[in-house]
Amino acid sequence: QQPVQSPQAVILREGEDAVINCSSSKALYSVHWYRQKHGEAPVFLMILLKGGEQKGHDKISASFNEKKQQSSLYLTASQLSYSGTYFCGTGSTNDYKLSFGAGTTVTVRA
């Protein structure tokens, strides 16, 4: 079952912040975040494996609330290069299944 992402789309001006949410109806073991530019393959951003874990990459960070079965991706001081579609992927505890959400399209304008 696919995780649910929100919002579906967001438009930002350079320097603005945004939050993308990901939730699952099933217990989560891991949350994966990827970004896909138009016409390209998705590219890995980060994985969160423990409840409460937070990670960051440049000014993109994420948190994982295992109890709430949710994760959030934070885009801080957005840059034009942050434009793309962001996907969260969820992993289960007992096999290698990796399901992705419908994606959030981020457009950053100058």
Partner 1 sequence: DGGITQSPKYLFRKEGQNVTLSCEQNLNHDAMYWYRQDPGQGLRLIYYSQIVNDFQKGDIAEGYSVSREKKESFPLTVTSAQKNPTAFYLCASSIVAQGGLAEAFFGQGTRLTVV
Q: Is 30 in the site for partner 1 (CB under 8 A)?
A: yes
If binding is defined by CB under 8 A, does position 65 make contact with partner 1?
no
Going residue by residue from 43 to 62, which x/- string records binding to partner 1, judged by CB under 8 A?
xx--x-x-------------
Helices (H), strands (E): how many in the chain? 0, 11
Distance CA 90, CA 66 (A): 11
Q: Please give the backbone phi and psi of residue 5, each rounded to the nearest 5 degrees, phi first.
A: -110, 150
The token pair at 110 is: 């100058």
> Residue from 19, 21, 29, 61 that binds partner 1 (CB under 8 A)?
29
89 forms part of the interface with partner 1 (CB under 8 A): yes
Q: What is the largest CA-CA distance in the chain?
A: 45
Give the binding site for partner 1 (CB under 8 A).
Answer: 1-2, 5, 8, 29-30, 32, 34, 40-44, 47, 49, 87, 89, 91, 95-103
